[in-house]
Structure 1
């Protein structure tokens, strides 16, 4: 009945659109339930049942309607999308007793009474119960983008929906000066005010890369989540088993001794194996097995330096949106988590070692995801370790003018002779140049071209061939770095022509 129920909710929501009539929405626990259906493997990647798959799609579509027509705060999504502290029910053979023990999952009693929805997907098998917190889900979703593409297709649309909610809700809070009370601030609360390593966990989640260390920290939400659908013959066997008759004389015991239902057995199994502290299985740390549908193994991931090593363009765009939310909150309410300088310090620690093309996506993206001040601060913070030892003057003022650009950044190469580091410096010089151009801060004078050309020459000389023959991965990396650097040079020269 999921499809019928969601259709009814959608009809009530749309009725009276464009008139002063109020929109009719359900209690908040329904939104939490629907957000679980939208991504739960039993309704998406672990079933052939078309009705279940349609229910997951309908749930996601309805939540998007609520975001658009009502808004996260008016709809109560900020109350619905709360990760609750796990309350494991006491062992019991009585299904009703188990239901009573797990009916209320809200430790603060703020209106989230899941007893009104009699389904494990609203209680012990709910996303908000199974996951430790928002960042564990983020890390797992981005791990899926690298090694479990069949699950990523579902986590992607769920994460897009969540980011829409967080962005709209934060914007509404910022307009009235209450950004510290936003959903996103609440998701940061478990790590705010604690040590630096706890805060670094956020960056590890945002930059989860599907390698073993990342999978060990950010593992599956539901048990056997990465497996594929059960074989149709297995589902037929289950259905036939439920129809067995009781015939004691012929040792036919019917359903006695079987689990009461697939959902009950799954929920009980998951309660026993809830992955809060358990180590990932060997299967998770390797490729997905034949049921998992993964298309790349970890060795390929470790050797890859392209955008696929971080899940492709769609994954990188969502990671950038999360970073933008962090920057927005830190700039408006530094006491909630960190000030922007400390945030960019952590960002620099994690961004500098990234593969070149991934680094380029975050530092000099085709479409900026940060405002001008934040982009400038981030680039200048990234410059400091790369220019160390290059002879560039130390600049800590954190303001950007054309004079500052010409004197402190444009003319210099990286401190080392690595092709990748010098390509990264070229990308950042280009980023600052484009930033000044977009905001009217460039004047077409001779000193500007001279500074840019001096830097181009210095970087080319720093990575010039030294007579050593290279082969294999190292040779490919240097070739790629050279191509990226020359592409950056061409774009900067074109921009200088426009300025002139």
Structure 2
């Protein structure tokens, strides 16, 4: 890999400042200024290269991306760039001093000051993916950057057996006491879908963030009002730190304050905090089962697995239970799913409640289990396997055909989509069986 070389990197506050520029609306979706848009893109590329070449821990990115430290700046000790060897795993303490950068985008307009925590940003970003696509395009690249940092940092701490000290562990700790309600909030953030309740809980980070660019006339007036000289050596970013207007004034209401007034749902109002060993897949079942079929399919039968085999198997079993109630399927409570268990307890059954959507979900989960067994060498081609899979395909088709309920409008379209998903799933399972034989 070559000889390790020293890397010159700035203090932490500059990383946090640049991370804000990559997504702040004044540098992205609320300006026509090409110079500012270029600054946001350059900031993103710089952070990506630092994460790739120096690493999140060696560079200090993991400390710069901590919401708590960013909100509590302290006195400056060092404004000069520091030199670190890229192979040195010792984390040197650096003072976080946002005030050393003369820009409100490093202080009161900083992402790390505006957002409640990481999960509030995740929820808002995914809300944008549905209702504000112009903002989602920017939040998407920010999330990708942070997820790369989280993954690399987590892997590094796993090697040292210090996962509790990772940035991801810190993000989890930021939501408060661990328990069922906490896990529900994380799931609501991950599954934020732009609905009214989701937008109420995960709202915009910056005031009027979703508005379009200002007119050229307004921008020119702002520039003429006050243009400062850039002095990068002394941390003076000129008019990049003074784009004030009545609607964007720091004195304007901070959206963070609204989060404290959000009312919890009825199911979250009770104090049901449990110990750490409570079953996480109960939460998965609660949130994943009602999802629309297309999104549900991505979670339970992904093109690229995102869970290890044991975790995926456990999650599928939890999701099967409510759907197979009343179907005659035997209850299976063990952790390991073998081919025999697959043939006897899952493959040959339809959803207990009927309806195209539930049966399509059962079909997709049966397919996912079959593919899981195949990938891990736990299945062999034999007559009993084909008979179980073909029986399941047949009974699910019959269940939908003889449902007896007439549907119109959206429900009819939903059932039509479910039928197509179920048939496509059946064809894929037949292809797997053909390969096995």
| 1:23 counterpart SS class | strand
Once residues 286 and 247 of structure 2 are traced to their aligned partners in structure 1, the CA distance between those partners, rounded to angstroms, is 40
- The residue aligned with 1:147 is 131
1:278 to 236, 254, 258: 258
Structure 1 residues 319-359: Cα deviation after superposition (integer angstroms, max 9, x where no partner)? xxxxxxxxxxxxxxxxxx955x7222101101000110110
Once residues 19 and 387 of structure 2 are traced to their aligned partners in structure 1, the CA distance between those partners, rounded to angstroms, is 56
1:496 to 418, 429, 433: 433
Equivalent residues in 2 for 1:94-493, closer than 5 Å: 104=74, 111-191=95-175, 193-241=177-225, 262-263=242-243, 269-278=249-258, 338-339=276-277, 342-493=279-430
1:33 to 11, 14, 17: 17
Once residues 385 and 454 of structure 1 are traced to their aligned partners in structure 2, the CA distance between those partners, rounded to angstroms, is 21
* Structure-2 change in CA distance of 1:70 and 1:266 (3 Å): farther
Aligned pairs, number: 395
Gaps of 5+ in 2: 77-92, 228-240, 261-274
Structure 1 residues 283-308: Cα deviation after superposition (integer angstroms, max 9, x where no partner)? xxxxxxxxxxxxxxxxxxxxxxxxxx
Contact 1:105 1:114 in 2 (8 A): no
| 1:417 counterpart SS class | coil
Structure 1 residues 432-476: Cα deviation after superposition (integer angstroms, max 9, x where no partner)? 000111111111111111111111122112111445542211111
Contact 1:135 1:205 in 2 (8 A): yes
TM-score normalized by the length of structure 1: 0.75
Contact 2:70 2:98 in 1 (8 A): no
Equivalent residues in 2 for 1:70-109, closer than 5 Å: 70-84=54-68, 104=74
By how many angstroms is 1:110 displaced? Answer: 6.5
Contact 1:85 1:129 in 2 (8 A): no
| 2:407 counterpart SS class | coil
RMSD: 2.5
Gaps of 5+ in 1: 1-16, 88-101, 244-260, 281-336
TM-score normalized by the length of structure 2: 0.85
Once residues 232 and 494 of structure 1 are traced to their aligned partners in structure 2, the CA distance between those partners, rounded to angstroms, is 59
Structure 1 residues 382-427: Cα deviation after superposition (integer angstroms, max 9, x where no partner)? 1111112211111111111111111111111111011101100000
